[in-house]
A and B are shown apart, each in its own frame.
Chain A
Amino acid sequence: MLQLDVQLCGECGGCVAVCPCGALELFASGLRIDHTECTLCENCVIFCPTGALEIDSVRGKAPSH
């Protein structure tokens, strides 16, 4: 599952732009991840300037829905 470290997040919105499936949305209150939409493609992980996003390697697969 995609994990966000809120301490590191600069709320810049770049991850939202590179997300091909619309799983991320930036609110004034912070970044929101829709895990049902996330395909774990890692675009946001690669883009993030701070390393605030990463794929949890232990549970590293998408939840089934």
Chain B
Amino acid sequence: MDQKFDCIIVGAGPAGSMAAKTLAESGIRVLLLEKHPRIGVPLACAEAISCSGLDRFVDPDPEWICTRIHRVLLVSPSNTKLVIRHPQAGFVLNRKIFDRRLAEKARSLGAEVRLNAAVVGLLRTSQDGFCGVQVLDNGREREYGAKVIIGADGVESWVARWAGIDCSVTLGQIESCAQSLIAGVDVEEDRMEFYLGKEVAPGGYAWVFPKGKGIANVGLAVTPDRTPKKAREFLDEFLQKRFAGFRVIESTMGGVPAFDRKKKLVKKNVLLVGDAGRLVDSLSGAGISNALLSGKIAGEITSRFIREGGSSFSGLKGYEERLLKEKGSELRFYSYSRAVFLKLTDQDMDAAVGFLGDYFGDRVVTGIEPIALIKAILKSNRRMLRLLKRLVW
């Protein structure tokens, strides 16, 4: 073993860095490994987060807050437009900076951060569980020891596979996404746009998230088994239709996993956080807030486990229990909502947008309780209610 740590975290995205920060704060020897030479690159993210999803973990910093969102534009398949005014809707981040600052924070608290360090396997102990990782650390083969390993390695998590956690994703459980960062467009800087319909994005939606100065993240998600056409082709069409002129700065692709309640987050002394644990709001695809939350809880539980001597792995189960106690019902609800959403026709979506127009009227929304809202939409339409009942009960 080349070096020993209490905990090794694989992947320096928001989940991994939050876990590293939490552990370092409590004096645990932690190593944060990132396979890429730079943190935050390449990025596969639309960079939006709700106010409440961010505030509780970090203070918003103008350095990485691109825009503050006060309005949401919803466009139905038949082009009915609805604007919801919500002063505290959320933020669009610059995650290239956000991710780096979070990792730097972890480092300043004592975490060791290594870039260009790809984990290529887990090391098994002779008895039970895992005792470390094999790493290609800047091209050199190394073995680092740890009492706990946290997989924060994204949707494609190999840490999960190596640990023997069933992580197969069916084509109905993942969204195929394409996004371009475009410049030179006239978009309103405090307004997010969402577009629905099978012509735009079958089994998903298209988004326009302003980043300020005429720059925006424009992307869409499709359910891949719905259409032979590629997300990238849908995006090209959407860009041409929505914008008169634009310049593409960069394009990113992505796979957004849907939450699966049957999936385990802990096996022996391996914990999965963020996208690796599929901790995504299945309806919107939002994952940053859950990544931060799961990283924080995983860090706290691991810290306690190590301080208490770390003999029985059962203490680590507390991570999954606490996370699901706090977020489980919400994650499951969004999962059901996605199942209903996937059954909606364009006419149903038109009806839902129409209902929302009546529901919100012209009032300024001070806070949206998403679950109550979705319930109201589903109850507004007999067909949707029937769909929900069939799925849930």
Interface, chain A (partner B; CB < 8 A): 10-18, 20, 22, 24-28, 43, 46-51
Contact = CB atoms under 8 A, between A and B. Distances in A.
A49 B178 contact: yes
Contacts of B118: 27-28
Given A17-B174, A47-B176, A28 B35 contact: yes
B230 A49 contact: yes
B255 A12 contact: yes
Contacts of B36: 28
Given A11-B42, A18-B169, A28-B118, A48 B252 contact: no
A49 to B, nearest CB: 4
Contact of A13 (B116, B154, B171): B154
Nearest to A8: B232
Contact of A43 (B37, B171, B230): B171
Interface of B: 35-37, 42, 44, 116, 118, 154-158, 161, 167-171, 174, 176-178, 224-225, 230-232, 251-255, 257
A27 B35 contact: yes
A18 B86 CA distance: 37
The SS class assigned to the B binding surface is: mixed
Nearest to B234: A49
Nearest to B44: A12
A16 B232 CA distance: 18
A21 B88 CA distance: 44
A49 B231 CA distance: 5
B12 to A, nearest CB: 12
Given A13-B156, A13-B255, A20 B35 contact: no
A12 B170 contact: no
Contact of B224 (A16, A24, A25, A46): A46
A59 to B, nearest CB: 22
B206 to A, nearest CB: 13
6 contacts: A13-B255, A28-B35, A46-B171, A47-B255, A50-B232, A50-B253
Q: Which of B158, B174, B224, B257 has the most CB of A within 10 A?
A: B224
Given A14-B174, A46-B171, 4 more contacts: A12-B254, A13-B44, A49-B176, A49-B178
Contact of B232 (A11, A24, A51): A51
Nearest to A18: B169
A58 B253 CA distance: 28
Contact of B253 (A10, A16, A22, A46): A10
Contacts of B251: 10
A44 B118 CA distance: 23
A18 B161 contact: no
Contacts of A17: 155-157, 167, 169, 174, 255, 257
What 8 A-B pairs come out closest when comparing CB atoms? Answer: A14-B255, A10-B253, A13-B156, A16-B156, A49-B231, A12-B253, A49-B253, A12-B254
Given A12-B255, A14-B254, A51 B37 contact: no
A46 B35 CA distance: 27
Given A12-B253, A12-B255, A13-B154, A48 B230 contact: yes
A26 B252 CA distance: 15
A22 B176 CA distance: 19
A31 to B, nearest CB: 10
Contact of B254 (A18, A20, A22, A49): A49
A25 B154 CA distance: 12
A13 B155 contact: yes
Contacts of B169: 17-18
B37 A14 contact: no
A14 B170 CA distance: 11
B253 A14 contact: yes
Given A12-B254, A27-B35, A47 B174 contact: yes
B137 to A, nearest CB: 12
A31 B266 CA distance: 27
Nearest to A25: B158
A22 B166 CA distance: 11
A32 to B, nearest CB: 11
Contacts of B161: 22
